[in-house]
Chains A and B, each alone.
Chain A
C-alpha cells in the first residue's frame, strides 16, 4: 500500500475509536458537569470526593482516553467538514496541521494535567 493510503486508514481508525468513546461516555459527563451540577438538579461532588476519584490510576487513564480520542474524532471529522462544507480542499495541508495538531496539543495537555494530579 502506498504511504498516503495507509495514513488515511490510521486517521479513520482514530476517528472511529474517538467516535465510540464520545458516543458512549460524553453524554453522561456533559449532563452531570455541564447541566445537572451547575443548575442544581443534583448535588455536585465535594472537592475531596472528586479528588479521591480522580487520583485513582484507572480513573486517570480513563480521563486521558476520554480527553484524547474524542479530540482525534473531532480533528478528522472537522477536517472533512471543511473540505466539503466550505470547499476549501485546496488548503488541505493547513487544515491537516491545524486539526490533527490541535488534537495532539490537547492530548499532551491532558497527559501533563493527569500525570501527577497530586
Chain B
C-alpha cells in the first residue's frame, strides 16, 4: 500500500508515523452556505460592512455641513434617492442584528459574579438594552429639538 504523502508545512498538524490511508475531505469555500447556523454567523460578520457604510455616510454628512446650507440640502436630497433609502433600510436591519447579537453574547465573554455565583446571562444583557434605549432617546431628543 503506498505511503501517504506527509504535509510539508513547517507547523503542519502532527500525525503518528504509521497509519492507513486516511480519507481527508476538503472544506469547500461554500462551507457557510451548508447550515443555517453557519449562514447566520456569516451574516452577523457581514453586518460590519454596513457599519462601514454608515461611517462613510456620516463623513459625507459632516462634509456637507462644512460646505454650507446648499451642500446640506444637496446631501439631504441624495439621501432621498430610492436606492440609498433601500441601502439604509438593509443597513439598519443588519446593524440592529449586530446590536442584538453583541448584547446577547457579551455576558459569556464577561461573566458577572455576585455573591460567589455567576449571574444569568439575561440579567447581564438587560442593562445594555436599557442603556441602548436611553441613549437613543437622548440622541433623538438632541437632534430633534
A and B from one assembly? yes
Chain A contacts to B: CB under 8 angstroms: 18-20, 22-35, 37-39, 42-45, 47, 50-51, 53-54, 63, 66-67, 70-71, 73-74, 77-78, 80-81, 84-87, 102, 106, 109-110, 113-114, 117-118
Partner of B54, one of A51, A70, A114, A118: A70
| Segment of B14-22, B72-80, B114-122 in the binding face | B72-80
How big is chain B's contact interface, by range? Answer: 35 or more
Contact B136 A71 (CB under 8 A): no
The minimal Cβ–Cβ distance linking B140 to chain A, given in whole angstroms, is: 6
Q: Digit string of B52-71 for contact with A (CB within 8 Å is 1, else 0)?
A: 10111111011101101100
Which are the 7 A-B pairs with shortest beta-carbon distances? A34-B88, A28-B136, A77-B48, A74-B52, A23-B99, A38-B79, A47-B69
Using CB atoms and an 8 Å cutoff, list the residues of chain B in contact with chain A: 27, 29, 32, 42, 45-46, 48-49, 51-52, 54-59, 61-63, 65-66, 68-69, 72-73, 76, 79-80, 84-85, 88-89, 91-92, 95-96, 98-99, 102-103, 128, 131-132, 135-136, 139-140, 142-144
Q: Are A34 and B92 within 8 A (Cβ)?
A: yes
From the candidates B85, B103, B140, name the one contacting A28 in the complex (CB within 8 A). Answer: B140
A63 near B32 (CB under 8 angstroms)?
no
A33 touches B92 (CB 8 A): no
